[in-house]
Structure 1
């Protein structure tokens, strides 16, 4: 049985989409003939769950590298689930490794990382070129990475959705309830959505999430006299989100940058029409049959699209079956099995196991 060490700073409740993806991948790997252990960050007291400082990442890099070097002989390969800092640790281990690009860890995705990438870009190019395989979760992200390193070969391996949990409501929702599940950070654009609500009569907005900008967003709601129509639900555990989607009539994603949004995919799987910004990987999921795309950072355009979407008699909405965690895991398994040691052979149907070890 091939033995894999996956390195991912995020794991629920820490982080966002990258952590959620890691959770579902581990769940699926348990059903397959592979042993995958996860090395992730420890949940320290008062730790910011939504924003990782350079100090957080450096500290995780230091401790995860020490732990990886100590246990490197126990694994056949390393899976760096994000370019930074996991791929550096994987390279230092001397083991075969693959890199999964996730978005915020690549040049051009987040303005706050511009200086960092000027310093480390040559080193990261060297490390990425030596990976046994590289993948991105959207065509958009693949193109973004290729802008920095045009010679890389990158596969697109999409995120998935658990359609056993995320499925449409039995009866259509008549109340004009708008749902947004998001972290409350600057690049998520929730402030533009709140401002748009001032231009949308009668509709109600449910905001599920938390983050560093939550106090400012609540103050904005008060300033615009929207307290009766905008409701902050707090951070909702992921296993309670499916029921929340089925209570809404429309999903809105106002982000200023996205690679491939788990929330957007979950909303579509739940049968919701969507209004999303025309950025990142969103156009790969949204079309005229399931939603409306608008320019980012434009409250008026957002309000117009929401009003329009609430008045459309949408056809039955679903998510393409190719977006499943089983398909995602099978793509990774193809690479993993190249490193299956003959002495560690497995029988068809034998179960592997997955462990999440928090380390900081």
Structure 2
């Protein structure tokens, strides 16, 4: 029987240890794809001997997929002088990988897909308006230097999408207002976490794992851990994170930083200047299973972001039974309950430190079951299955129309 084909477009390799919510979401879409679908990924390669531009059969998370690397990219965690998105877009020109369904997580590559036939979905991962504001660090995203050009490009490309799914309610409203002619195609989507990887354990197991980590790191036996995980990029503002930890000034609390990016050297320098080297550890990129274990060891997870959509890593922390401390940006503040985390009123070191201190001094106010209860509606099995169901229904309707059209033609 013919199967509908979903082709996902993004500049990464799922078999690499990679950082970012987009990559995680794509991996979830592959892992939880129903057997009724054929899934393809147009990504990047990590092996120079891997033939670029050729489909190959592969397996990810026990699922058979087709994978096509457009070019070799050794490290997608760090930006190069030429933006990877630009390289990826250029590599798509002159090709056609159209299929029944196509998922895009960046706008720019769809310059090459305007004439491709099939249902196209654009996923919006950030608060676009905040992201594109001229104030702040211009290095955060190149388009912030040319906001008018970006919105002109967006207006040119937006009509090709059958659906625009945004995990940020502000962006959803922005698109509906800017493009009223396609407003009915714009809707909210829940980001999701993998409950097979991120789940809570008993308090005794958490304590045992904490003690094991303390022992491995040769720290004081009473040390508690707080965690940051994400790209070391101006959006996440890891420098503010380090300064907030310095303001916390708790000798028996240790900060674990998971991730990599263009600010890694600057973050390391800030740690040294603030004399925090004995209380902050930069772990670099880690595999998902290891990250899940760190979530279950830590007393809190911290977000110091300047702008966000709905970060998957916050969902993963809550699913692991760990409360979240976040700046007031994105959807996380709307998600958190009073017993599953704290939202900082100001994006300053003192405000973040005070919020973190509140969680550390009163862990009984943020129990694991409350964190898990908050995040349960975002489980991948629920969210992703609903999207695939909608795709299946759309595919069936198209098949019926095609059959009816053929019937009318010949009869």
Aligned mate of 2:45, from 42, 46, 58: 42
What is the distance in 1 between the residues matched to 2:310 and 2:344? 16
Matched with 2:376 is 321
CA 210–47 in structure 1, closer or farther in 2 if over 3 Å, else same: closer
Matched with 2:189 is 157
Shift of 1:120: 4.3
Shift of 1:144: 4.1
Aligned mate of 1:220, from 270, 282, 291: 270
More displaced stretch, 225-234 vs 318-327: 318-327
Matched with 1:135 is 165
Contact 1:5 1:77 in 2 (8 A): yes
| 1:339 aligned onto 2:399 | no
| 1:92 aligned onto 2:112 | no
Aligned mate of 1:330, from 359, 372, 385: 385
CA 322–182 in structure 1, closer or farther in 2 if over 3 Å, else same: same
Contact 2:195 2:380 in 1 (8 A): no
What is the distance in 2 between the residues matched to 1:119 and 1:126? 11
Contact 1:279 1:296 in 2 (8 A): no
| 1:233 aligned onto 2:283 | yes
Q: State the secondary structure of the residue aligned to 1:297.
A: coil
Q: Give the CA RMSD over aligned residues.
A: 2.6
Shift of 1:123: 4.2
Which one has a bigger Cα radius of gyration?
A: 2
Shift of 1:18: 0.5
Q: State the secondary structure of the residue aligned to 2:94.
A: helix
CA 217–122 in structure 1, closer or farther in 2 if over 3 Å, else same: closer
What is the distance in 2 between the residues matched to 1:245 and 1:205? 12
Shift of 1:139: 1.9
| 1:184 aligned onto 2:232 | yes
What is the distance in 2 between the residues matched to 1:144 and 1:11? 31
Matched with 2:155 is 125
What is the distance in 2 between the residues matched to 1:132 and 1:241? 35
Normalising by structure 1, we get a TM-score of 0.84
Contact 1:97 1:131 in 2 (8 A): yes
What is the distance in 2 between the residues matched to 1:7 and 1:196? 37
| 1:250 aligned onto 2:300 | yes
Shift of 1:39: 0.9
Shift of 1:263: 0.8
CA 280–52 in structure 1, closer or farther in 2 if over 3 Å, else same: farther
Deviations 1:187-223 (A, max 9, x none): 2121112112222222211111111111111111111
Aligned pairs for 1:272-351 (under 5 A) are 272-295=322-345, 297-312=347-362, 313=364, 314-315=366-367, 316=369, 317-318=371-372, 319-337=374-392, 338-340=394-396, 342=399
Query: Which structure has the higher relative contact order (CA within 8 Å, separation 6+)?
Result: 1
Contact 1:83 1:102 in 2 (8 A): no
Give the paired residue count: 337
Aligned mate of 2:245, from 183, 197, 206: 197
Matched with 1:352 is none
Deviations 1:8-59 (A, max 9, x none): 2244445511111001101111x33111211123333654524366542222
CA 150–276 in structure 1, closer or farther in 2 if over 3 Å, else same: farther
Matched with 2:94 is 66
Name structure 1 gaps, 5 residues minimum: 344-360
Shift of 1:175: 4.0
Normalising by structure 2, we get a TM-score of 0.75
Matched with 1:3 is 5
CA 32–48 in structure 1, closer or farther in 2 if over 3 Å, else same: closer
Shift of 1:330: 2.5
Which aligned runs of 4 or more in structure 1 are off by greater than 6 angstroms? Answer: none
Shift of 1:60: 0.8
